[in-house]
């Protein structure tokens, strides 16, 4: 019986989220949390939709399956699909993109097609565009390729990335990730909040994303040069620019000010959120325990992750 398992990591935007949708660079990193997709051939071919075991994201998965059917001129009828994941959902850590990338990888193997990460990434980008309207492609790219990436979408058909030949320095105090929760979708934030801001005042918007680009550049330099003090200052500047973009809720701003007042630095990472929480907050402090205690006070889950994880990976193939 055919059985294929493919996994994909989550990600963090260290800088450049939202600006990357509008042609600016982003610095993104794959993390040590992963999502696993297993496709199992059913002994008895069924005629209904092959998706079982899925309580959420059903429409999204149908889109992915149809995309592959169209691309390879095939029709799937005979498999079950199971998902397990330890990537927080809807928090800006790429759980959706990991689902797309791993599912596409698994479907491609299932069909006996060659393993081609570039192709997986391109198909995942098409699916993501369907999901949130105006995607940059930075999520599927870092999730496919892993590591620490400098990414930029120049044009719809011209997306470039550079796998940086260095890591987040071991000398940096490990980041703490705090999940502040979120209610809006990425599409609401990318199209609704930020898209509107651009339409309302294009000049001011250009100025703001140019400042974000500058921060992305200098933050990359600080990581390269192992300058943690500079890195932390830039995290704070980055957070202020994201607040000006309008993607950080009042309650998350208050939480981040408390972190800053206790001697740390923090920023949202990913799409953010306005109504309640803002997804994952990436925080640094000389004493990570202080951050965790503060997160507890706000009743936000906190955790640590390894950075620079491997991209999409074949876990098990039984044919």
By the rule CB under 6 A, 18 interacts with ligand MEV: yes
Q: Which of 28, 24, 37 is nearest to 10 (CA)?
A: 28
Residues 97 and 137 sit within 8 Å (Cβ to Cβ):
no
How far, in Å, are 85, 97, 200, 280 from residue 181 at the CA level?
A: 17, 18, 28, 7
Question: How many other CB atoms are there within 10 angstroms of residue 63's CB atom?
Answer: 16
Asked if residue 138 binds ligand MEV (CB under 6 A), the reply is yes
Q: Does 136 bind ligand MEV (CB under 6 A)?
A: yes
Nearer to ligand MEV by Cβ, of 122 and 139: the residue is: 139
Alpha-carbon distance 73 to 61, whole Å?
18
| Binding range to ligand MEV, per CB under 6 A, among 50-58, 70-78, 115-123, 131-139 | 131-139
DSSP string for residues in 143-176: HHHBSEEEEEEEETTEEEEEE-SS-S-TTSPPPE
**Which residue, 264 or 277, is less far from ligand MEV as judged by CB?**
277
Task: Kindly indicate which of the ranges 11-19, 43-51, 248-256, 288-296 contains the residues binding ligand MEV, using the contact rule CB under 6 A.
Answer: 11-19
CA angle 40, 66, 57 (to 5 degrees): 70
Binding to ligand MEV by CB under 6 A, coded x per residue (else -) over 225-264, reads: ----------------------------------------
What is the sign of the dihedral through the CA atoms of 224, 268, 27 and 214? negative
Q: Does 21 bind ligand MEV (CB under 6 A)?
A: yes
Neighbours of 249 (CB within 10 A): 24
24 versus 285: smaller Cβ distance to ligand MEV: 24
**Strand, helix or coil for residue 129:** helix
Q: Say whether residue 139 binds ligand MEV (CB under 6 A).
A: yes
Query: Scanning residues 266 to 285, which ones bind ligand MEV (CB under 6 A)?
Result: 270-271
CB of 254 to ligand MEV, least distance (A): 22
Region 80-109 residues binding ligand MEV, contact defined as CB under 6 A: 92
**Which positions lie near ligand MEV, rule CB under 6 A?**
13, 17-18, 20-21, 92, 135-136, 138-139, 186, 190, 270-271
């Amino acid at each position: 019986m055919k059985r294929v398992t493919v996994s994909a990591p989550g990600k963090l935007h260290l800088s450049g989220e939202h600006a990357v949708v509008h042609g600016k660079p982003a610095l993104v990193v794959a993390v040590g949390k992963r999502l696993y997709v297993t496709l199992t051939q059913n002994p008895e071919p069924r005629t209904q939709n092959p998706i079982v075991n899925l309580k959420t994201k059903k429409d999204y998965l149908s889109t992915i399956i149809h995309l592959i059917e169209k691309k390879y001129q095939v029709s799937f009828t005979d498999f079950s699909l199971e998902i397990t994941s330890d990537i927080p959902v809807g928090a800006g850590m790429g759980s959706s993109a990991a689902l797309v990338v791993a599912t596409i990888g698994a479907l491609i193997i299932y069909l006996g097609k060659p393993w081609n990460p570039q192709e997986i990434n391109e198909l995942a980008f098409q699916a993501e565009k369907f999901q949130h309207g105006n995607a940059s492609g930075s999520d599927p790219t870092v999730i496919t390729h892993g590591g620490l990436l400098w990414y930029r979408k120049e044009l719809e058909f011209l997306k470039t990335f550079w796998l940086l030949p260095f890591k987040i320095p071991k000398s940096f105090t490990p980041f703490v990730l705090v999940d502040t929760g979120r209610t809006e979708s990425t599409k609401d934030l990318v199209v609704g909040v930020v898209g509107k801001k651009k339409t309302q005042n294009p000049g001011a918007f250009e100025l703001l994303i140019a400042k974000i680009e500058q921060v992305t550049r200098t933050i990359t330099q600080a990581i390269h040069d192992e300058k943690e003090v500079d890195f932390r200052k830039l995290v704070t500047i980055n957070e202020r620019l994201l607040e000006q973009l309008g993607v950080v809720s009042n309650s998350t701003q208050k939480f981040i000010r408390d972190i800053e007042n206790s001697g740390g630095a923090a920023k949202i990472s990913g799409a953010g959120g306005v109504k309640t929480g803002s997804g994952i907050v990436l925080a640094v402090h000389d004493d990570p325990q202080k951050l965790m205690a503060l997160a507890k006070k706000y009743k936000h889950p906190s955790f640590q992750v390894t950075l620079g994880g491997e991209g999409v990976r074949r876990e098990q193939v039984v044919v």
